[in-house]
Structure formats: C-alpha cells, structure tokens
Structure 1
C-alpha cells in the first residue's frame, strides 16, 4: 500500500487549522482580541527586541558557519534575541522569555514602557520566572475597572489558610495567608467594597467545619437586618450596634481565648495551633467587627448614660486588644472594618498590631496613611485616594506578603442569593467553638477519652 505523504500532511494541517479556528470562535470577544494581540507580539518580536535593546551581538561563529566560510573570511556576527512563548488570556498576554548574556531581568524592566506601547497594553510588568527566565505580563484591559462576580462553589477550600481576595492590576490572583495572623484592618469609604469582601470570605470558608464565624455589625440592631442577614445561620454569634450586646460577645470570645490558652497543650500537644492547623475539634475562629468605630467611640459627658457608654467603649477596646494580641497562637482572628482607620475610630494599640491592612477608596492622604502606614506616600499610584472613581468600587490597596510596595486588588462581589444559598447549605456546620474544649481533655488522637467520666459515651457527645 502506497501512502500519499503530501496528502496526509495536508489533511493533518487542515485538521490543525480547523481546531485552531473552532477554538478561536468559541473564545469570548475579549479573549479573541488577546489572541490577535498574541500573534502580533509573536511575529513582531524579532524586530521589536532589536529596536528596544533586548538583543545581543554574538561575534563567535557557529561550527557550521565556520566550516562553510571561505578561506580567509570571517563569518558575520549574529544578532540574538531572547526566545519567547506567548499565551493570551482575557486581559492580555503572558510572555515567557529566556534571558541572554547582557539581556536579563533588569533590561526587560527598563524596556517595559516601550513594550507596553508596541503591544498596545495598559501596563506591562516584568518579574523573574526562575533562573535565566523572565515573565512579561501585558494587560490590554485594565482588570481594576472591570467589576467581577464570584459564585461560591459550596465546597470546602483546599487550603484553609488561603484567603483568595481577587485579582491585581495584572490580572494575577491575590491570595493572602491567614496562618499566624491575629488581626486584619480594612478601611474605606461607605459602599466601596468592605462588607462584600467579608461576605465572600464567609461564603468561601463556610463549607468547612474547621472555621467558625462571629459578627459584630455596627450598622444594624438585629441579625435580620443589614449585610449579614443572609449569612446569619452560618454565624455562631452576632451582635448589633448596642454596646452592651457587643461587650457580651467580646467577653465571650475572650473567655474562649483564655480557655484555649489553658487547654492547647493538653488538647493539641503544641503551644501553637498553626503547627497542626485548624480542624473541626479546634476551628479557626474569626470575629468580624464591621464599622468598628461604633464600639470604640470616645464618649464625652457627665450624665449617667454617657458615662456607662464610655465605660463600655473602653472595655470593648480592652477586650478586642486581648484577642488581637493574644489570639494568634490559639487560632483566633479579628477582622475590623471602618471608614477611616484613624486612632479615634480604631485605637492605635489595636490597629497597629494588625498584621494585614487593606484600604478601599479614601478621601484624604491622612486616612490612607492611617490604614496602610506612612510608606504609602512613596507609592502614589497605589494610594487609595485615587480610587474614588465609581469604576474602582471594589478595588483596594494593600501591602502584599512577600511583595515590595503596594498593590491594587479587584475584589469580586457575591450575590445575595448565592450568600443565602451557601449559608443554608452549611448551617449544620455552625457550632460554638467552645463546645469541644470540655469533650477533649487530653491530646487529640481523634477519639474522645472518657477516662474521667465512665458514664459518658459517644452518643452523649453527639
């Protein structure tokens, strides 16, 4: 049997082209634009690299060139450019390049603005991608101006310590590590995305029995009101804007913190819960204090009611300080939100020990500095004062762990229907985290010990 090789090759090429065409048609409009952009980048790279100084002259002839050269002639030098691989996505292109001698990370970073112009990108970043490699991220669409929606899966997170916030200005995922974090401070003008960010946190972590939530919401009076009404069934405790009610909640959590501190070695066999991680037996306990200034206000006056409010406010600050400063090792975390994180809203002895800080839009540099620290003055592009445009609702500035400077992050929204769906589906996981301390008097081997109470059985625990 004679095989027509040209015909076979033609069929294979036609099949490949059909596959590429079908895939291109199935992309959304923005991804198709990025595919076309990737083609321009790929086929124009050799010329552009030489124009922007991303090339090097190699005067040493190759072995073949030396063999083919006429006697007495020297082969002409070669101009080398880094080899690249281009991957398109909805926002632009990702270019991975191999470095050459004298063409490395620093040279790519210096040429970033020229690459942005040539590739018609909003911005270009250059980061190391391993030894001898760089990754160039070019965004054609600004991810910060495109509102996004998040649909919770309803499944427990793969990593209970990873808080997925959203995407940064280069459309890269921003994930915060919650391990060994006792305090988070979130600031921003009303309606800029603070509570929506926390709703996503509850929806993403709610399906896990290794996390329990309590909320003090200074905007409402009861749990049936406000932003957490749909999530109420997934909260083991709730307090409204009444200072006395919040005071009781804070006292309850401080008692839990003290009980955990006394029991942790006996129950977990370690002095730091994060050495073994959260579990159903010892869940990560997150206290959300929304509009925290409600509970720490400095009341002035000599009448009995004002004095009582001032006393409660001062005690609230002392109790929350206890949780933020001493709750890390026993698996307790406090997230405080406020409009302006100055000392009169959140006492500095609480705010300044919070390991993580985010700020949505602010009106003044003073408010930005209060939320993010004085170093934000050195990063004017990331200053939350620039986020007041309605297009930036849901965008926050923050200092990322392990990254220099400040980064802007687009946080997605979660619909009320999805929040209610997750809360209803996971309500059976809601439990007071103090419930297990009495049941596990010794080191956990994942089976309860009944040595001290022979009448107790597993049915009693259930």
Structure 2
C-alpha cells in the first residue's frame, strides 16, 4: 500500500508557493505567552484579594462585600438617580466608521467612574466628576445613596480637583469606643494634634499652630480629662513641648486626673487661689519676656514660623475646672473681698495669656463643666478660636460652649449626647468650614499614660529657666501691675 503524501502548497500564478493553511501558522508565537502572563496576573490579584478578605475582621469583611455591591450596582444606580450626562459628540472611532450607508451613532450615556476602599466602619468611594455631575449633584442624592447602599449615612466632599470622596458609613462610629496606645515617639508636627474620629470614622486633627487658646466644656464623666490626658500622652515624647497644669478640683498633684502624668508636668497648682494667682503672674511675665526676646533669639516675631524647639518650647497651659479661679465671690467681709480681687486679677492675667501668647508659643486650654460667663469670662472665652463640648443638659449651655451658631445645627448639639453610648464624644466647631463636627475621642489606659509620662520625665524642663539660658537675666524689669 502506498503511504499518503501530504499535498504540497499550490503554486501561485507567479510561481511562488502559497503559504500553508495550517491553523498553527496563523497564531502568533507570542500569543500563548501573553495568555500565560495574563493568567498569572489574575491569579496573583485573586490571591491577594482572597488573603485580604480572610485576614480581615468580621466588620471589615462585611464592608468588603458592601464595596463589591457598590461597584457592581453603581452604573444602574447612577442612571436611576440622574447622576449621568448625555454625550452627543461622536468619539474619534465613531467618526472614522461613519459613512453615508451607516446611521449616525447614538448619544452616549456617561456616569462617574468610582473606586472603593473598605474598612471596618464602611466604604470610601472616590468618584471622578463629569460634566453636570459634581459636588452639588452628588450631595443632593446623599440620602438616596445611603438607602441604596444600606448605610447609616453618606458624606460627600471634594478630594481633589475633579474627584469627590464619598464616605459610606455602615456602622455608627460614634457608638463604638476606640482606644489609643501611645507609641512613645515624638509627634512630627506639633502644630497639629490628633483628636479622634468623626461620625464618618475619618481621622480628625486639631490645628493648634497659631491658635491662642481652646475652651473645652461638658458634664462630669463625659471625657474632658480623658481628652486632655490623651493630648499630653501624644505630645509628651517631644522635648519641644512643656506643660503647666492648674486643676481646680484637687489640692495636690498626687490627686485627681493628672496624677498619672505628673512626671511630665513642669509645674502644678491645685485649688489654692493664691498659688494660682502667683503662677498666672509668672506666666504673664514669661509671655512678656518672650515677646521682648523673640526677634533677637528666633529672628522672627512669630515662633510658629520656625516651630517649637527644646530651647524655646511650645508651652501648653492647662486650666482645668477653670471656674475655680474665676469665681465671682459675693460678700463684704475682708476674706471674701480678697478672694474676689484674686479672681478678677486671675481673669485679667489669663486674658493676657490667651490674647497675646499665640505668637510666642503659649497655648492655653481652659476646661469647665458649663462654659457660661461666670465660669469662663466672655472676654476670655470669645478669644479661644477652638471650642469643644461634651454632653450638655441645656441649649443655653451648648450655646455658651460653642456659640450662637449651634442653634442652626440642632442635630449636632451636645444636648443630644446625654447617653452612655456617647461618653467620650464631643462636638467641635469645624476649623475652616461652616458647621460643627462630632468627634469620638479615643480612650487611653491610665497605666499606659503614666508609663509614657514616666519614660519622658527627663524631658520636663522649667520653661521660665529655659528663656533665661537663652537671654541671660530677665529682660523686662517693669512691675507687673504697673505695666498692666
């Protein structure tokens, strides 16, 4: 039997053999390699996503699933909510395909592109804006987005030009206590203090550079002292910060809320009105001495132009239970008159610190239960550009703490925080924006706080002596009362 012979390629009309029609010759040699590479990339991507999902906690897993649903349903949801635009201009490819025989291409319906990031509280959505769909249009549909995504609330803000940042909150961050564990490392920027997280679980930072003072109000047990202790623990590892504390609810340093951090406090005074008055006088004198020396020592009239240093530190003056030092004593007996005079002078001295201490690096924090005029005189309180309030019982107390504008934002009022779930939650005036912000302050273990203060105790220095080391003997010799 004669074996079959493969047919040879038929010659072309020119005599050149035609190429074989074997399908293997029609596939480029690099195509299988490309397929393998794509498969490997997909396998790595799938592995990373799977491992991330498995390692996440229960709440984060729920948010990851929610993020997937948001991406999958977004095109249809955007159309239903009218977050689309009609593009009637043909693309270049459509123009090239256009011919008399082909109909004119249909207008395209465009919707913003989104990417998602999940965390334990919800999902962050970054959205590219398009024509006629920007900040105002998306904010208008925020409530509908929250309902469609099964969220507590959705916030919309500008992330950068041409891009919005949406925050879809699945759980209520204000109901969830958070904890802060001090690292013991110095804060990079002493002009920005980490405060906690807001109602969208976003980190909140308090800008304190060039801020003359802050007023903190709230009922007992709702978080004022915890807030201040947490700030001390964050700032304590820096030698460019020194603390002076006056606590009107105790008599000695080993009592009360600041006993755990006393190793990091340069000077402490309790409820002794005479001792407080003497300390306020020394602080005002220090403020004057710094004002006289700042240009010669720092080469500027504003310490924040160069930032605090160990030689010229930021001095944080904490006046807790401030009403103790400003009480309006009533009576005609000599002792009552003497105490009334001390209180009036204390108010005048603290006014000097708050109004004039900013540029020389002195920041005053005043804390009280009810920030009415008899607790913190209005001529002091109104100069404090930062205001926070924990829970309050009355609208008048909320207005005293946060200003008249809080009446226009009833949902943010601290009278709504009278609930055990809101212990550690404060309302603050937005910095640089209208309105108010509710912030969950993290809890810090007192033992950890004490450990940080003890470890950083060697950084504590007398701020009065530090200036003398820079300038020599005291610069200002006029009597304090005469200058006042």
Checking the alignment, whether the CA contact within 8 Å between 1:187 and 1:338 is kept in structure 2 is yes
| Residue 141 (structure 1) aligned with residue 171 (structure 2) | yes
What is the distance in 2 between the residues matched to 1:4 and 1:333?
Answer: 65
Checking the alignment, whether the CA contact within 8 Å between 2:121 and 2:173 is kept in structure 1 is yes
Which secondary structure does the structure 1 equivalent of 2:350 belong to?
A: helix
What is the distance in 2 between the residues matched to 1:99 and 1:19?
Answer: 29
Number of the residue aligned with 1:426: 456
Number of the residue aligned with 1:35: 64
Deviations 1:269-288 (A, max 9, x none): 22222222111111111110
Deviations 1:403-434 (A, max 9, x none): 22111111111111111111111000101112
Shift, 1:15, TM fit: 4.0
Shift, 1:5, TM fit: 6.4
Number of the residue aligned with 1:252: 282
What is the distance in 2 between the residues matched to 1:352 and 1:116?
Answer: 38
Which secondary structure does the structure 2 equivalent of 1:129 belong to?
A: strand
What is the distance in 2 between the residues matched to 1:132 and 1:5?
Answer: 35
Number of the residue aligned with 1:216: 246
| Residue 296 (structure 1) aligned with residue 326 (structure 2) | yes
What is the distance in 2 between the residues matched to 1:282 and 1:78?
Answer: 63
Deviations 1:184-222 (A, max 9, x none): 100111111111111011111111111100101111111
Shift, 1:74, TM fit: 2.5
| Residue 200 (structure 1) aligned with residue 230 (structure 2) | yes
Which secondary structure does the structure 1 equivalent of 2:387 belong to?
A: strand
Checking the alignment, whether the CA contact within 8 Å between 2:253 and 2:262 is kept in structure 1 is yes
What is the distance in 2 between the residues matched to 1:70 and 1:430?
Answer: 85
Deviations 1:39-79 (A, max 9, x none): 00000001000001111222333343451677152222221
Aligned residues: 442
Checking the alignment, whether the CA contact within 8 Å between 1:162 and 1:177 is kept in structure 2 is yes
Q: 1:27 to 1:300 in 2, by over 3 A?
A: same
Where in structure 2 are the equivalents of 1:17-166 lying within 5 Å? 17-66=46-95, 67=97, 71=101, 73-166=103-196
What is the distance in 2 between the residues matched to 1:104 and 1:229?
Answer: 52
Where in structure 2 are the equivalents of 1:309-388 lying within 5 Å? 309-388=339-418
Checking the alignment, whether the CA contact within 8 Å between 2:241 and 2:308 is kept in structure 1 is yes
What is the distance in 2 between the residues matched to 1:182 and 1:104?
Answer: 37
TM-score (norm 1): 0.92
Comparing 55-64 with 101-110, which one deviates more in the overlay?
Answer: 55-64
Checking the alignment, whether the CA contact within 8 Å between 1:87 and 1:95 is kept in structure 2 is yes
Query: Aligned-pair RMSD on alpha carbons?
Result: 1.8
Q: 1:70 to 1:147 in 2, by over 3 A?
A: farther
Shift, 1:363, TM fit: 0.7
Q: 1:243 to 1:44 in 2, by over 3 A?
A: same
Shift, 1:136, TM fit: 1.2
Number of the residue aligned with 1:450: none
What is the distance in 1 between the residues matched to 2:265 and 2:104?
Answer: 79
Deviations 1:203-253 (A, max 9, x none): 111111111001011111111011100100100100111211211221221
Structure 2 residue ranges without an equivalent (≥5)? 1-28, 473-484
Comparing 430-439 with 368-377, which one deviates more in the overlay?
Answer: 430-439
What is the distance in 2 between the residues matched to 1:80 and 1:69?
Answer: 25
Q: Which runs of 4+ in 1 moved over 6 A?
A: 1-5
| Residue 262 (structure 1) aligned with residue 292 (structure 2) | yes
Please tell me whether Structure 1 or Structure 2 has the larger radius of gyration of its CA atoms. 2
What is the distance in 2 between the residues matched to 1:274 and 1:219?
Answer: 33
Which secondary structure does the structure 2 equivalent of 1:438 belong to?
A: helix
What is the distance in 2 between the residues matched to 1:275 and 1:242?
Answer: 37
Shift, 1:13, TM fit: 3.4
Shift, 1:401, TM fit: 1.4
TM-score (norm 2): 0.88
Q: 1:284 to 1:11 in 2, by over 3 A?
A: closer
What is the distance in 2 between the residues matched to 1:346 and 1:4?
Answer: 75
What is the distance in 1 between the residues matched to 2:270 and 2:374?
Answer: 20
Number of the residue aligned with 1:445: none
Checking the alignment, whether the CA contact within 8 Å between 1:97 and 1:133 is kept in structure 2 is yes
Which secondary structure does the structure 2 equivalent of 1:343 belong to?
A: coil
Checking the alignment, whether the CA contact within 8 Å between 2:98 and 2:104 is kept in structure 1 is no
